[in-house]
Chain A
Amino acid sequence: MKRIRFSALAWLALSPLLAVSVFPFVVMLTTALKPLAEVFVYPTHWLPQHPSLEGFTEMWKATRFALALRNSLEIAFESTLATLAVAVPAAYAVARMQFRLRPPYRQFLLVTQMLSPILLVLGLYRLMGMIPFGDGKLLDTRLAIIIPYAGFQMAFSVWMLSSYFAAIPAAIEEAAWIDGCTRLRAIVSIFLPLALPAIAVTGLVAFVAAWNEFALALTLLRDPDRQTVTIQVVNLVAGRYSVEWNQVMAATLVATVPVGIMFTWLQRYLVRGLTFGAIQ
């Protein structure tokens, strides 16, 4: 009896926060399922009176959503690969090797983590506009966004990976050396298979970060054919006189749900990486 009362009190205390957390999802879903005529009815109904998928189909055509999805997928996937290619060896060095410059190197990672790309966006924009690439400049190409994504995701990835790598017993590799394995071979055939789950989790974090990123994509990808889902959805709203909100909410749902599910699963690992440097 006491437990029931206590549980009810706990839920009651949490209820305002729970309501605020659920509210955006209710808004997204109900608006996305309304036909346009019903979106602009006064007074507004909470639930769609005649649910329809009009919002999804119209949005798909109006925004060339398939193209934007492809851009987002390519950019997120390639920047994840670039991040891992740089972060995995560095994390191995931090976790396994003793060198005197290790503390300053870790400090350096901390500092890069502190610098938000948006603070440097003006410099990045000019950098990408300066470097020749193909027929024009690096600006407005996939590479222009992949490089900064990898650069700003790197520090966090090295941190997170090295905390996991340090937990893999070094004795297994050392045993392989004794058996005549070269160092590199021990890494490839013994260490990497054990490290794969950690690498996968770190890669997913990088993927979600690239998928969700806004400021750099807004600045470095001006060509509508190159823009990501995030930018396309924002463009449905920004600076428009009339906004078809059922389409916008359909688009936010499509942009949010797959990555949201992935991210929900990732949260527990994420915090370990985020707090690694601070708590140890």
Chain B
Amino acid sequence: MAARRPTVIGVLPFPVLVMIAPSLLLAAFVILYPLWEILRLSVHEISRFGLVRGFVGWDNFTAVLADPSFRASLWRTLVWTGAVVGGTLVVSVPTAVILNMDFAGRGLARAVVMLPWSVSLSMASIVWLWSFNADYGLINTLLQSLGLIARGVPWMARPETAFPIEIAIGVIVSIPFTTTILLGGLSSIPGDIYEAARIDGAGPWLQFRALTLPLLRSFINIAVVLNIIHVFNSFPIIWIMTQGGPDDGTHILITYLYDLAFRLGKPGPAAAISLIMLAILFVFTFLYLRLQPKDAN
């Protein structure tokens, strides 16, 4: 491409300022002020009704860190994020590889794989909640007709079954996006290198290991990072299906913080958790940027 003369030069010329100022102001309004407010709440004692009482320093943070429910939620957040992102990748890589091959009805298969994307998280959660209903849900009906269970299992009544189900739904709703990114990556791999590998006697598994995976790596990285950020903050699935219960047994940090802030009337500790989550996200992003090979851009 021919070099184009830059049209405006300068640090921040006036026309550019006019064009980007609204976006900066809007972001300041919905991000900076709320962030400042959360910082303020986190170091004050706050009444149930949201009145700021006295400065308490780190008290909210020490209280949160000593709270067993917080620790359990933190651990569950790691499990949730790891399992959903990992599970999504394990399903999406082979799915993308298959969908990239030439077989009869591929267009239809692609469309069906993408279907869950067209339903919002909250609506999907409601449908799955009903499907796992203990008495009349179709999952129990299905398992009973297959003879796998004798009577209806109350799936959502115990954290030991409810949380893995929520993870599975997290995986299902993340697959379309991840598969799409991977398909984009696969389509950029030229077909003739496989030809060459075949001539050299490489079988399908070796081709996948030695060619597909390395060439797909940057796309896998992007999908994983975007998924981690998104899943770490994911609220609707758990809030709609179990609201963190039973016995606080399915809370992750984001649902626990919402519970504290809006149901239990503890904005101070909730604000502290918000900041802890932000810190985790920033550390993660920083590490990711540091670990990225320099030639990636």
Binding site for B on A (CB under 8 A): 3-4, 6-7, 10-11, 13-14, 17-18, 20-25, 27-28, 31, 39-44, 46, 85-87, 89-90, 92-94, 96-101, 105, 108, 112, 114-127, 129, 147-148, 150-152, 154-155, 158, 170, 183, 211-212, 214-215, 219, 230, 233-234, 237-238, 245, 248-249, 252, 255-256, 259-261, 263-264, 267, 271, 274-275, 278-280
Contacts and interface: CB of A to CB of B under 8 A. Distances in A.
B222 A150 contact: no
Contact of A99 (B4, B10, B94, B226): B10
Contact of A10 (B103, B229, B267): B103
Contact of B114 (A13, A92, A267): A267
A205 B63 CA distance: 41
Given A44-B140, A120-B35, 6 more contacts: A14-B98, A24-B119, A43-B141, A151-B29, A211-B120, A252-B123
Given A43-B141, A263-B118, A127 B33 contact: yes
Interface string B26-40: 110111011111100
A114 B4 CA distance: 33
A151 B104 contact: no
B34 A170 contact: no
11 contacts: A14-B95, A44-B138, A90-B22, A94-B20, A101-B11, A122-B270, A151-B29, A248-B130, A256-B118, A274-B177, A278-B226
A121 B281 contact: no
Contacts of A97: 7-8, 13, 15-16, 19
A21 B135 contact: no
Contact of B20 (A28, A93, A129, A271): A93
B157 to A, nearest CB: 15
Interface in B237-276: 239-240, 243, 254, 257-258, 261-262, 267, 270-271, 274
A230 B16 contact: no
Interface residues of B, number: 103
Contacts of A230: 120, 122-123
Contacts of A108: 24, 27
A10 B109 contact: yes
A263 B116 CA distance: 11
B95 to A, nearest CB: 6
B194 interface: no
Nearest to B179: A17
Given A122-B38, A123-B38, A24 B131 contact: yes
Contacts of B106: 10
A14 B113 CA distance: 9
B30 A21 contact: no
Nearest to A41: B136
Contacts of A124: 30, 34
Nearest to B23: A90
B218 interface: yes
Given A6-B103, A234-B240, A263-B117, A215 B235 contact: yes
Contacts of A89: 18-20, 22
Contacts of B175: 17
A256 B119 contact: yes
Interface string B211-248: 00000001100100110011001011001100100000
B122 A212 contact: yes
B11 A99 contact: yes
A42 B112 contact: no
B144 interface: yes
Interface in B26-71: 26-27, 29-31, 33-38, 41, 50
Given A10-B103, A126-B50, A274-B226, A252 B115 contact: no
Contacts of A112: 27, 31
A230 B119 CA distance: 11
Contacts of B111: 264
Given A14-B113, A122-B261, A234 B122 contact: yes
A271 B130 CA distance: 31
Contacts of A219: 262
Ordered nearest first, which 9 A-B pairs have the shortest CB separation?
A: A123-B34, A151-B30, A212-B120, A260-B118, A98-B6, A116-B233, A7-B104, A89-B19, A123-B37
Contacts of B141: 43-44, 46
B229 to A, nearest CB: 6
A92 B10 contact: no
Given A89-B22, A118-B258, A252-B126, A25 B115 contact: yes
Nearest to B277: A119
From B22, B101, B230, residue with most partner A Cβ within 10 Å: B22
From B24, B30, B121, B239, residue with most partner A Cβ within 10 Å: B30
Given A85-B22, A147-B30, A24 B98 contact: no
A243 to B, nearest CB: 8
A170 B4 contact: yes
A170 B7 contact: yes
Contacts of A99: 8-13, 16
Contacts of A126: 34, 37, 41, 50
